[in-house]
Every structure is written in C-alpha cells, then in structure tokens.
Chain A
Amino acid sequence: MSKALIYGLLLSILMVTAPHADHLPLWVSALCAALLAWRAYLTHTGGELPKRWLLLAITFASVGGILIEFHTLFGREVGVTLLILLTTLKFMELRGPRDAMVLVYLACFIIITNFFYSQSIPTALYLLATLLAIATTWVHLHGQSIPLKPRLRIASVLLLQAIPLMLVLFVLFPRVQGPLWGLPQDAFASSGLDDKMAPGSFIRLSLSEEVAFRVSYAGQPPLREQMYWRGPVLWEFDGRTWTPGATLAPAAPQFTDTTQPIDYSVTLEPHNKTWLFALDVLDRISIPARLTYDFRILHKERVKARLRYEARSHLGYRANLHENERQLRRALQLPPSLNPRARELVAEWRNQTVGNTGGTDDAAVVRAALAYFNRQNFRYTLEPPPLGLHSVDDFLFETRQGFCEHYASSFVFLMRAAQIPARVVTGYQGGEFNELGNYYIVRQSDAHAWAEVWLEGQGWVRIDPTAAIAPGRIERGLSAAVTDFAALPFMARNPPQWMRKLRLNWDTLANRWNQWVLGYDTERQFAFLTRLGMESATWQKMALNMMAGIGLIIALSALFMLRHLLKRRPDKVQAAWLKLCRRLAKAGLRRAAHEGAQCYAARVAAARPELAETIRDLAARYSALRYGTPQDEQMQQEFIKLIAKFRQG
C-alpha cells in the first residue's frame, strides 16, 4: 500500500463525511477527525497501526456512546452515525488492497447518506467532485504505477462516459413509489409555520429566507393583496398564546356566491406537518386531502418530501353563512379578567355604534377597530418591546409597536370582547415573483397572521389589521413595510437589482431541479414519457425501452472507445509492396512467408535477371520506407508510383 494511495483514501473519506459534521453529535465528528488525523500521521511517519484490542476498545466505547446518545441502535440518524464511525475505524486497520476496496465501497455508500439531508444543486456538484476523488483513488488501487494526472484523466473519462447511460437509466428505470419499509419518525425536522402563535413567533420566521413553497398560476395571477395562503387557524387564547384548540364536531364548510376562480399549482417544500396551503377559499385539489370546518386543508400524512399539487380556489366567496352555534360560541371565548382596558375600549365603541344606527352593527365595530390601529400611531416593527401579563392592553395602550401576530392577536381579542365571533388565521401572504420562471416564491419571511370575523349575512370575512398599519406589507412585502431594516436578512431588504436577478435566476434553476430531478417520481415519469411520445407508458414498456437504451448506449460507447483499434490505418507502402508480390507470384515467383524483402529480391533477381535491377531497387526502397526513420511522404509516393509502373518483362 503506497502512501499516496492511503492519502487518496483519506481524502475521499474526508470529503464524503465532511457534510455530515453538521448534524453528527459533536463528539462523533471529533473522534472521526482524530482517527483520520492519526491515520494520516501514521502514514506520514510509517508507524505501526494500532493493536487490534485497542481498536476493539475504541469501537465498543464509541458504539456505547452512540447508544447513550440516541437510546437506540436503529433508525436513520443512528445508522448514518454508525456507518461513518465504523468507516473511520476501518481506516485504522487498512492493510491490504482488500481493505482499501471495502473503504472505496463504503465511501460510495456514505455519499448516498448525504442525500438524506440535502439534495440541492451545490450538494450534487460537491458530491460529484467527491465521486471523482473516489474514482481516482479507485483507479490508483488497481494501477499503482500510474501518476496522478493520467489517473485523474482515466477517472474523469470513466465518469463522463457513464453519464449518458446514467441518464437513460434515470429516465426509464421504473420508479417504485416508496417507502418499502417504515420511515422512522425522527427522519425529518420541522420547519416553518407552527400551529401556535405567541408574540415573537412570526418575527423568528420573518428572518428566514427559506422557501416555503412555489406557486405558478395557470392564468392571470391574482392581486397581491388577494394572495392569502391559509394555514393553521387558531381558536383559543390563554392571554398570551393562540392555539387551534380541540376540534369540535367537524362539519363540512359551505361556500356560496363563489366568484373569481383561479387555478394554480403549488410545490410545497417538506415541513413535516399535515397542513397544505391554498388560497382562500379552496374549491378542489389534485391530491387526497381534507377540507376542515375552518377551511384548512389537511394532507393524509405529514409532508416529508417535496409535494406538488394542483388546486382551484375562489377569491370571491361567502363562507359558512349559517355557522354552527357551537362554533360561534367558541369564536367568542376569552380568558376572563385579562386586559381590562381593551374591554373598556370595546364597550365604548359598542356604545358609539349603537348610538349611530340603533342596532348592533358589527361591521361598524370592525371599522372602528381598524381605524383605531390606523390613527393611534402604531408602528410595524421587527423589534417590538416585550409585553406584560395584560399583553393586549400593553400593546394597545403602551408600546404600540408590533408585528403581524400582535395586530392579529389584539384585533381578534377586541372583536371577541365586542361579542363578534373572530379567529386568528395564520399562513403566508404575498410572495416574490420570479419573471424568469414565471412563478411566485413564497418564503418563510412571507409568513403572516390575520383575522377572520363572522358577520351576519356575510359569513366569515377576512380582516387584516396589519394592512391598516402597514399597507405596504400586503402590497409590496415585508421590506416595504418595516422601518428597522437592520434586523432583516440582507436579501430581504432591498438588494441591488443585479443581485436580486441573480437570486431569481438561481431560484429558477433550483425550481427546475426540484421539479424534474428531485421530483421525478412515478407520476412525472409517466407524464414525461407520454410527452416524449411513448403511448400509454407501462412499466413493462419502460423496462423494454430501458434495455434497448442500455444496449444501444453500450454499443455506441464500445464503438467510440474501440474506434482506434478497429480502424487499422492501411499502410500504403506495404499495400503497394504486397501488390508487387502478388504480381510476381502470378509469374511463378511466390514470396515465401519467411522471406524478407531483400532475400526475395535476390531470389527474383536470380530467376529473372532482366528484372534484377528494378526489383533490387524496389526492395531497397521498401526496406528503407518500412524500417527506416523518419517517414518521408515524397519517397512513399515515388515508391508507389514505381510499383504501379512495374511490368515484368
């Protein structure tokens, strides 16, 4: 085992495990790094490998550590951790080519585990580079004498030649919809919107530039202020936090007077929650999902992989004109004895509106509340001051600085205090238009909370108190609305045009990648193959096509690779000489197999003295051209001409 080979293996393993350092337990990363460094040191100094008992001790100790850390030895995270740990330990007993081969295979396997965590374009490129490093080491293992440069070339050629066939396999290999065995629950981390809302929870989200989902509209996109993507609906308030509360007898929602239908498709990033996002209010959806009594859409299972669905919504609607009594009572519940000043304020509005119209005018109360937000010098900010026990009072009368959750929360509180059924709705609002890909990007920073009130004769009506304070937030987005830019991530402020363009370009690419590479599943495969002209694609057909494709490409590669061997450059000089020999053979002077040019010429000269001079000259020329160096084009031409002119007697 040469040192260079061991360094190559070390590099391969290091490259392939490095991205895992992000999520492995710290002590495992440190141990692996130490082991690799130790091996590199031993290789450098030519020292003895550690004794077997020591390795066994380290192995048992670290497996024990993992058992303590994870409380199990099964599951994906544990599996990945164990795999990486045992691979680095394998290094410590790397002695022969057999061990090296095992390490190469392990390195390939670890590449796959990286895809559990990221399948983005940069990850793909990085792991392609890693694969090249592995392949170069692999070639080294079987050709120790080859210097680095040709080794790298051979590995690159292998990799490049593999690409066409890989594409055929990727497109045509019949996709089976997984999973084959149960995925452990710990498999995915949650991200994005939660089904709880407390002061501060949306501010955290607003700092994240992560993509929540992407939308493309079939026709004209709706106005920005109509882009309310409904998520969890929150009913219960404990004075500080809003929660969905217990689900009551679920009755199907009723929509009447629906207008403005709009069709769109959503590609939802995995968020490990069951809810899906749609514009208010949903009419139909292409995947199995349930519409709840409060118009949320629930998927049958947690969304753990990127999910694409087509949907139709009605932007104009009346929802649940005849709402269930129990629901309405639920929409009025408030924690008793909190926020007395807010209750006073509402009572005052009630009196005013009663005075004006003579009846209970809920709509007037709503208007009064919005006007209050609008006039009382409220500020829309990412850095609101903390609130006390009477959080709504503190916000309405003291701090008057808040983010969407503060406004939604206090607005719904005011409404309920005024005996108007109301609830908090969370979700996303707006999005960034990507003109390159003609779709909208909805990011975590577009997370939003608003309110819905139930009015007699109108049903549930959306009211966004944020729009009363910061209309820019709804019309143009977050950066247009907040005054304290500094708290926002750089790209969420107003980046230079070229940078914005670059980011949109990149997102378009990422979207295509997501749709066509990562999202290439059974359904896409059938759709794609049908578009390619394969009528009624079945997996048998695909398998046949795949076989044919594989055969064709292997044959083409073989032709391409062996073309130098197949194409035997005809040697003009030799051809001419053989022609001469054939002519003489007809005259009864066959050249024997062992006879060289000179000997043959001598024999011919003896038999046919009249040809002696010519044949000797030709033989001499032939020898010179065949065996002499360098090759002279002019001499060759002359020789061929002389042979052509040759007449026996």
Chain B
Amino acid sequence: MLTALKTRFRTWLFRPKIESGTVTLTQRRIFILPTRQGLALAVVLVLMLLGDINYNLSLGYVLTFLLATMAVMSMLHAFRNLAHLEVRAGHTDAVFGGGTARFVLHFYNRGKLPRYRLSLRDDHGNTVSFDMPGQQDSEIIFPMHARRRGWLPLGKLTLYTEFPLGLFHAWSYLHFDARCLVYPKPLADAPLPPGDAPDGAGRRSSAGDDDFSGLRNYVAGDALPRIAWKAFAREQGLQVKQFSAQVGEELWLDMADAPGRNDEDRLARMTRWVLDAEAQGLRYGLRLPDGELPASNGAAHHDECLRRIALFNLPQRATP
C-alpha cells in the first residue's frame, strides 16, 4: 500500500516519460535537496550558534548568519545553474558491438549566464561533466558501452549540479527517445562466401583484386589493409582503395550459408562479410530468413545491410 503510494507520488513528482524534441528545464523539472555536505554544514552552524550564545559573540552571530545565508543563496545558485537550459538529443552514429556508443546531446544556453560544473549521469554510473559559457550552444557526447546488437536506448539521464558550494544537489531527469543502432561485433576474419553470380561464373578470382579503380572515403569497418595510407600521408584524409569488379558479378550474403554455432555467430560473420564485400567494392546482396536486399553497393546499401543484420529477429521497438 505504502509502496504503491510512494510510486504514485514519484510518478506525480518526477513525471517519468520519454520525450523527443527540445526540452526546456523549467522550474517544474528541477529538483533540489541538500547534500551530505550541506547537512554537515548545518551541524557546524548549530555548533557555531551555541558558541555565539555562550560567549555572547556578536560578530560570531554575524558570521554564523552570513554562512547560513550563503548556504541558502547557494541553493538559488544551484537552481539557476540548471534553470532554462534547453536540451535536445542529437543524431547518434551507429557502432559495432563492443564499441562505445557516442550519444550526442545539444545543450542551448540562451541566457548570458555561464553554467558551471553540470554533470550528466545514467543509471549505470557513466558520468560526463562540462561547463557552458553564456549564450552558447554545446554539443555534449555521452559515451555508453554498446554490448549487444540492436537498438541501444539512451535511457533516463540525470542532469545535476552541486555548484557553487556543494551544499545542494539540483537535478533534472532527461529521458529522450534517443537510441543508437548497434551492429553485431564482426568476426575478426572470415572469408567471403563463394560468388553466386547469375551467370554462374562464380566469384571472380582474387587476382581481380588488383584492378585498382579509385579511392573512396573511409567508412567505419573498412579493412585496414585497404586504407590508402599514401593518400592519408598527403593529408587527403582516410581513404580506401577500391577495386573494380566485373560488371554483373553479384555476391549473395546468405545467412543460411554462414557457418556458426548460433544466430549471433552467423550474424557476426555476416557483418564481417558485408564489411569486406563493401571494402572490395563488390556488388552484394543480403539474404536473411525474414527478407532480402537486392545486390548493390555503396555506403547507403552497406548501412542498410548492417541495419538489417543488427535488427534481425529483434522486436520492432527495442526501446524499453
């Protein structure tokens, strides 16, 4: 009964709901409580007051009241440090399993007031601290370890501050619908399946790899040996060597062909295939038990393939 009431009270007070768009931290959303240090100061102040009374120290009263008032004012400062910030979750790039998802949060500080020592924390103890100058926007990266494939939700974050004196903990909950797509962690090394071209010629010989056709921009997951280090040395950025494939040659990446103990193993292998096929500039198609993607290549195709693999056999909405 009591727990139910408590839950209802918390629901009423904190209004937990998942939000999208820009959130303004109005005073309804900011909570404030004294910290342990704040309570310790209260004890110190009571001791001081007893001393003042006992020794009749007028200036002691002044000091005690001054400190007490500073503590109260620091509460307003802590509140102001959060108040009327605007927050929006930004786009988060997909990552491979085992990597770090870098959630982007855009903070807008419209007022002239600089905000100091803001911290973001999630329920797993990841913490990011930052300052914000007045009238400036900041992009805060909140890193989170990506373990399993699928959608990694940002979840509920706590934005808090104990500035300026550490006596009060002011906080606000931010629960955005932001999520990060996590691709399966690719196997370290897996040979591509043999070609399955419509003309039946099979996959072209590996010697064809040497037919260099040009450079394209590096995409996460490209094989290291294919990076054009010379171009990188010329400060042209990370580029990947592309090799021409014979027109009409298509490679089908079929889950049924992928060896592995279970689906996850097979998906990890397929991830590696997609990366290698794209790196080699092949035209490749994806065939999963729940559908297929026609053969193609390029960044968009590559991303879509990885996305299908990542989300294979997962409930549609993986957000909690």
A577 within 8 A of B: no
Mask of A137-177 contacts with B, CB within 8 angstroms, 1/0: 01101110110001000110011011101100110010011
B13 CB to closest chain A CB (Å) equals 21
Decide: B65 and A139 in contact? CB cutoff 8 A.
Answer: no
B32 within 8 A of A: no
A520 within 8 A of B: yes
Interface set, chain B 135-173, CB cutoff 8 A to A: 162-166
B219 within 8 A of A: no
Interfacial chain B residues near A183, Cβ < 8 Å: 54-55
Q: Which of B47, B53, B166 contacts A178 (CB 8 A)?
A: B53
A127 CB to closest chain B CB (Å) equals 7
A80 CB to closest chain B CB (Å) equals 11
Interfacial chain A residues near B33, Cβ < 8 Å: none
Decide: B54 and A178 in contact? CB cutoff 8 A.
Answer: yes
Interface set, chain B 30-59, CB cutoff 8 A to A: 37, 40-41, 44, 47-48, 50-59
Interface set, chain A 99-120, CB cutoff 8 A to B: 101, 105, 108-109, 111-112, 115-116, 119
Mask of B298-314 contacts with A, CB within 8 angstroms, 1/0: 00000000000000000
Interface set, chain A 300-322, CB cutoff 8 A to B: 305
Q: Which of B51, B58, B62, B68 contacts A519 (CB 8 A)?
A: B58
Report the number of A-B residue pairs with Cβ-Cβ less than 8 Å. Answer: 148
Decide: A518 and B58 in contact? CB cutoff 8 A.
Answer: yes
Chain A residue, CB-CB nearest to B50: A180
Known: A142-B164, A561-B77, A561-B80. A173 touches B114 (CB 8 A): no
Chain B residue, CB-CB nearest to A97: B166
A565 within 8 A of B: yes
Interfacial chain A residues near B62, Cβ < 8 Å: 124, 166, 170, 517
Decide: A518 and B59 in contact? CB cutoff 8 A.
Answer: yes
A256 CB to closest chain B CB (Å) equals 41
Chain B residue, CB-CB nearest to A558: B76
Interfacial chain A residues near B114, Cβ < 8 Å: 150
Chain A residue, CB-CB nearest to B41: A105
B248 CB to closest chain A CB (Å) equals 41
Interface set, chain A 508-551, CB cutoff 8 A to B: 517-521
A135 within 8 A of B: yes
Interfacial chain A residues near B48, Cβ < 8 Å: 108-109, 112
Mask of A168-212 contacts with B, CB within 8 angstroms, 1/0: 011001001111110100000000000000000000000000000
Decide: B163 and A142 in contact? CB cutoff 8 A.
Answer: yes
Decide: A143 and B116 in contact? CB cutoff 8 A.
Answer: yes
CA distance A173 to B77 in the complex (A): 25
Decide: B40 and A142 in contact? CB cutoff 8 A.
Answer: no
A391 within 8 A of B: no
Interfacial chain A residues near B44, Cβ < 8 Å: 105, 108-109
A375 within 8 A of B: no
Known: A105-B44, A145-B117, A565-B80. A180 touches B54 (CB 8 A): yes
Decide: A562 and B116 in contact? CB cutoff 8 A.
Answer: no
Known: A112-B60, A565-B80. A101 touches B54 (CB 8 A): no
Q: Which of A116, A173, A554 contacts B57 (CB 8 A)?
A: A116
Main secondary structure of the interface of B (DSSP, over half): helix
Interface set, chain B 54-74, CB cutoff 8 A to A: 54-70, 72-74
Interfacial chain B residues near A180, Cβ < 8 Å: 50, 53-54
Q: Which of A115, A142, A143, A173 contacts B65 (CB 8 A)?
A: A173
B132 CB to closest chain A CB (Å) equals 11
Chain B residue, CB-CB nearest to A142: B166
Interfacial chain A residues near B70, Cβ < 8 Å: 135, 158-159, 161-162
A248 CB to closest chain B CB (Å) equals 36
A557 within 8 A of B: yes
Interfacial chain A residues near B80, Cβ < 8 Å: 561-562, 565
B112 within 8 A of A: yes
Mask of B2-38 contacts with A, CB within 8 angstroms, 1/0: 0000000000000000000000000000000000010
Decide: A158 and B116 in contact? CB cutoff 8 A.
Answer: no
Known: A101-B37, A112-B60, A142-B164. A166 touches B65 (CB 8 A): yes
CA distance A561 to B56 in the complex (A): 34
Most buried by B among A101, A135, A179, A565: A565
CA distance A143 to B80 in the complex (A): 15
Chain A residue, CB-CB nearest to B112: A564
A56 CB to closest chain B CB (Å) equals 25
Chain A residue, CB-CB nearest to B78: A142
B253 within 8 A of A: no
A279 within 8 A of B: no
B131 within 8 A of A: yes
Known: A139-B164, A517-B59. A158 touches B52 (CB 8 A): no
Chain B residue, CB-CB nearest to A123: B59
Chain A residue, CB-CB nearest to B44: A105
Interfacial chain A residues near B65, Cβ < 8 Å: 165-166, 169-170, 173
B256 within 8 A of A: no
Interfacial chain A residues near B83, Cβ < 8 Å: 562, 565
Chain B residue, CB-CB nearest to A165: B69
Interfacial chain B residues near A145, Cβ < 8 Å: 116-117, 131
A131 within 8 A of B: yes
Interfacial chain A residues near B163, Cβ < 8 Å: 139, 142-143
Decide: B63 and A158 in contact? CB cutoff 8 A.
Answer: no
Decide: A181 and B54 in contact? CB cutoff 8 A.
Answer: yes
Q: Which of B57, B63, B73, B111 contacts A565 (CB 8 A)?
A: B111
CA distance A547 to B20 in the complex (A): 42
B234 CB to closest chain A CB (Å) equals 35
Chain A residue, CB-CB nearest to B166: A142
B203 within 8 A of A: no
Decide: B37 and A111 in contact? CB cutoff 8 A.
Answer: no
Decide: B66 and A565 in contact? CB cutoff 8 A.
Answer: no
Decide: B54 and A158 in contact? CB cutoff 8 A.
Answer: no
Decide: B76 and A521 in contact? CB cutoff 8 A.
Answer: no
11 A-B contacts (beta carbon < 8 Å) = A115-B59, A119-B57, A119-B59, A150-B114, A158-B77, A165-B73, A169-B69, A170-B61, A183-B55, A561-B77, A562-B83
Residues on A facing B (Cβ under 8 Å)? 101, 105, 108-109, 111-112, 115-116, 119, 123-124, 127, 131, 135, 138-139, 141-143, 145-146, 150, 154-155, 158-159, 161-163, 165-166, 169-170, 173, 176-181, 183, 305, 517-521, 554, 557-558, 561-562, 564-565
Pairs of residues from A and B, 6 with the lowest C-beta to C-beta distance, nearest first: A162-B69, A169-B65, A165-B69, A166-B65, A162-B70, A142-B166
